[in-house]
Structure 1
């Protein structure tokens, strides 16, 4: 039987993909001391292709927001895989948003809103979180955005 968050996903028409496997020597998520720490997630488009590019160079804010949203979807997929039940999520505590940016690009916060707004849409008030949004000169595999998360969780 679907829980409250699963029902919300259905309501907004969001189907979670299979969580991405790690691309190096780490695990996707670690649950410890009432928190789930999720490794950086990369953005995949509807075709399953990585969303590549540099904001302010060959990609615009709208593309960056889509990429951030795609990262957020993958974060939720990792939550589901790690916790089994998304209703265990008590609060999205913090998102760390890394934006592959040209040196003159300064709208990282606008890009990060693509993820932040989805977390609030899915989890409601507990989806409101602290956040960092920083520009970096390059990200793994040339992706436009990478996002990690800290999530407060209840006992399973």
Structure 2
């Protein structure tokens, strides 16, 4: 089954791939891998902002991480490599949070679970989930990815 068909089966409509907000490209394909730059969470076209442990709940943070995952898929599609995904190798998750907040892994599960839903076994990946004091544009979450591609 194609990835596009799987997305349709799951009722997932990918957002438009976001343009970079600084001097970088969204996806670099090199040596059989797609390196996807950090993606911010847009839900219904609005950037999800705030800090976990301060003004945003774990549930809202998890939804934001899922939105980052959707943007990763949108960037892969825009780069013309979505159907070539052989394995989700690693996700890097960054959560804007207070010093006391320690549920970053639960938040980043939003992106991880999406990869498992869409790709199945090849969606299982290594991961980092870290708390940071601030993210670009005040975003609540940012997620980047390393994706292995088939020839």
TM-score of the pair, normalised by structure 1: 0.95
- How far the C-alpha of 1:81 sits from its partner, in A, is 1.1
Gaps of 5+ in 2: none
Q: Which residue of 2 aligns with 1:103?
A: 99
The number of aligned residues is 151
Gaps of 5+ in 1: none
Q: Which residue of 2 aligns with 1:6?
A: 4
Q: Which residue of 1 aligns with 2:78?
A: 81
Q: Secondary structure at the match of 1:15?
A: coil
TM-score of the pair, normalised by structure 2: 0.98
Q: Secondary structure at the match of 2:46?
A: coil
User: Displaced runs of 4+ in structure 1, greater than 3 A?
Assistant: none
Q: Which residue of 2 aligns with 1:71?
A: 68
Q: How does 1:96-135 map to 2 (within 5 A)?
A: 96-135=92-131
Q: Which residue of 1 aligns with 2:58?
A: 61
The answer (yes or no) to whether the contact 2:81–2:149 under 8 Å persists in 1 is: no
What is the aligned counterpart of 2:42 among 26, 33, 44?
Answer: 44
- How far the C-alpha of 1:52 sits from its partner, in A, is 0.3
- How far the C-alpha of 1:133 sits from its partner, in A, is 0.1
- How far the C-alpha of 1:112 sits from its partner, in A, is 0.6
What is the aligned counterpart of 1:18 among 6, 16, 19?
Answer: 16
The answer (yes or no) to whether the contact 2:33–2:146 under 8 Å persists in 1 is: yes
- 2-structure distance, mates of 1:141, 1:5: 31
- 2-structure distance, mates of 1:22, 1:49: 16
Query: RMSD across aligned C-alpha pairs, in angstroms?
Result: 0.8
Q: Which residue of 2 aligns with 1:146?
A: 142
